Amino acid sequence: MKHPLPQLQAMLPKNTFEGKTVLITGGATGLGFSMGKMLLELGATLCLMSRKQEALEAAKAALLQDVGGSVFIHTADVRNVDEVVEAIEYFEKNAGGIDALINNAAGNFISPTEALSHNAFDTVIDIVLKGSKNCTLELGKRWIAQGKGGKTILNIVTTYATTGSAFVVPSAMAKAGVQAMTRSLAVEWAKYGIRSVAIAPGPFPTEGAWERLFPGGLDKKLGVVNEIPLQRPGDHRELANLASYLLSDYAAYINGEVVTIDGGEWLLGAGEMNFLLQLSQDDWMALAKYKK
């Protein structure tokens, strides 16, 4: 049975992020946009950074119309350190200091691994792993030099960062690296007042992910929803509430944690006896006679 899902409100108090600035890579679309929208509702100043000026402008206009508040945009390819530095300097100058970073930008597509060119493989690794490193190292150095503390890094990984996954091997390798960075820096940079946390989402419908992971309506053809115990994909506001909480002072003692939000999807694939889900009620009744 599916649980009805109400239109979710932000669960935190309205002023939770007042006076705080959050930088979101890939924040103009998909989950980055949804997290940004809720953070803006909660009083944050937003800095959105990605490659496409048009997408950034459209996102800013939509956010200001729907929510209002302060939104700054700057293009940068996260693979390019010089562009990352230029964008961060722009945000620091115009938005005030940055308090939190969400490493959300990603590149991904499905393919048999042996069909990938070296450049295709590197492209995903460079965006996800090197891109997250570029933003984290640049901001981290600045935060440490400023010596104020109270900073947070939130990395968006995936459940297959832990399990691995066929047909998305560059993404799985890169996300595993980002997960390792999360846990490593949680320890190393805690002394500077920098927390490091991650979210591992299951399937949350976005144009970017769906057109690359399920081209040609593969999700419907293969019944992807049946791989999720809760029998539905995630709602963006569920993930945005989790991200808001992890970035907030309410989560000030959470450090190094990778929180899964996937309706139980990865466990369905993992549990030794989960294949027994195929049995009907009648099958179970029939089996009862074997009980000792």
Q: Which positions lie near ligand NAP, rule CB under 6 A?
A: 25-26, 28-32, 50-52, 55, 77-79, 104-108, 127, 131, 156, 158, 201, 203-204, 206, 208-209
Selected from 15, 117, 278, 281, the binder of ligand HXC by CB under 6 A is 117
SS3 at position 46: strand
Closest by CA to 101, choosing from 113, 110, 92, is: 92
244 binds ligand HXC (CB under 6 A): no
Selection from ligand NAP, ligand HXC, none that 120 binds (CB < 5 to 8 A by kind) is ligand HXC
108: contact with ligand HXC by CB under 6 A:
yes
- How far is Cα 160 from Cα 269, in angstroms, rounded to an integer? 11
CB of 210 to ligand HXC, least distance (A): 9
- Judged by beta carbon distances under 5 to 8 A according to partner kind, the member of ligand NAP, ligand HXC, none in contact with residue 123 is ligand HXC
Residues between 131 and 190 with contacts to ligand HXC, criterion CB under 6 A? 158, 171
Which residue, 12 or 49, has its beta carbon nearer to ligand HXC? 49
Tell me the chain's radius of gyration from C-alpha atoms.
20
Distances (CA, A) of 154 to 45, 101, 112: 16, 6, 30
Classify each residue of 55-94 as buried b or exposed e, where b means 16 or more C-beta atoms within 10 Å of its C-beta.
bbeebbeebeeebeebbbbbbbbbbbbebbeebbebbbee
Of residues 160, 245, 253, 290, which has the active-site annotation? 160
As beta bridge partners, residue 197 has: 154
Out of ligand HXC, ligand NAP, none, which partner does residue 111 contact, by CB within 5 to 8 A per kind?
Answer: ligand HXC
160 is an active site residue:
yes
Q: Please, what is the minimum distance in Å from the beta carbon of residue 217 to ligand NAP?
A: 16
Cα 163 to chain center, whole Å? 17
Q: What tokens does 255 get?
A: 């450090």
Which of these segments, 37-45, 59-67, 80-88, 203-211, binds ligand HXC (CB under 6 A)? Answer: 203-211
Q: Select the binding partner of residue 109 from ligand NAP, ligand HXC, none (C-beta < 5 to 8 A, by kind).
A: ligand HXC
Closest distance of CB 59 from ligand HXC, Å: 14
* Spatial distance between the Cα atoms of 150 and 144, rounded to a whole number of angstroms: 11
Determine phi and psi for 49, rounding to 5 degrees.
-135, 125
Contact 23, 98 (CB under 8 A): yes
Query: Which positions from 48 to 87 touch ligand HXC by CB under 6 A, shown as an x/- string?
Result: ----------------------------------------
Q: Which two tokens stand for residue 155?
A: 């990395």
What is the helix, strand, coil percentage profile of the chain, to 5? 55, 15, 35
The residue (of 222 and 287) whose beta carbon lies closer to ligand HXC is 222
Q: What does the binding site for ligand HXC look like in residue numbers (CB under 6 A)?
A: 106-109, 111, 116-117, 119-120, 123-124, 158, 171, 203, 208-209, 212-213
Q: Annotated active-site positions, please?
A: 160
